[in-house]
Amino acid sequence: MADKELADSTSSTSHASNPLTRKLNKILETRLDNDKDMLEALKALSTFFNENSLRSRRNLRSDIERRSLAINEDFITTFQAVKEKLDSVYAEVEGMNTCCQDMTSRLKAAKEQTHDLINQTTNLHAESQTLHMKAQVADAFLAKFQLKPEEVKALRGTRDGSIHLDFFQALEKVKKIHNDCKVLLRTNQQTAGYV
């Protein structure tokens, strides 16, 4: 009898250490009411496992693999369309990026040209103002230190030798020019005529 108890305990120990037995016991002990994932898996399994025959059990693995392959092919087909659309969007974005970079470089070139043009315009405007001021100074200088053509004509007189009032006014201006020239020479402004 001791041998029988020893054999039973050895048998129960070997059953407990057998991995398949442990897995089966674990599955049998789980409560399916609480495990929603397991229920979903069993429902999916029941759709293509109609009859409990030896042939069905042997083909179960290949049926599951075929079903998995079909699902993966559907997945690939669906995502191939998504990938093509994403590639199209990517190409559009690349085109827009190229366009934006081209426009940015054109704007930069236009800005540089405009900047150069503005600098040139500013310089020309400043030069024009300087020349205008110099022209005003030269006109004022000439008005003060040069006789007008009618004053020169009055000084030369007429053919008949008569002297008019214009002659004396022109002569007075010549005297004033002469005095102003003396003042310029005394103040070391003899280069004033070069302005």
172 in any annotated domain? yes
- Are 82 and 118 members of one domain? yes
User: Are residues 130 and 160 both part of a single domain?
Assistant: no
Are 120 and 161 members of one domain?
no
Task: Please check whether residues 134 and 87 belong to one and the same domain.
Answer: yes
Residue 14's pLDDT band (cuts 50, 70, 90):
low
Residue ranges making up the domain that contains 163: 146-195
Domain count, the chain: 2
Same domain flag for 127 and 153: no
Instruction: Say if 68 falls within a structural domain.
Output: no
Q: Considering only 33-47, 111-125, 128-142, which range has the smallest mean pLDDT?
A: 33-47
In the block, which residue shows the tokens 């006109």? 139
Does the residue 182 lie in any domain? Answer: yes
CB 3, CB 10: distance < 8 Å: no
Does residue 139 sit in the same domain as residue 81? Answer: yes
Q: Does 2 fall in a domain?
A: no
**pLDDT averaged over the chain?**
82
Could you tell me the pLDDT band of residue 132, with boundaries at 50, 70 and 90?
very high
Model pLDDT for residues 51-81, shown as the tens digit of each residue: 777 777 778 788 888 888 998 999 999 999 9
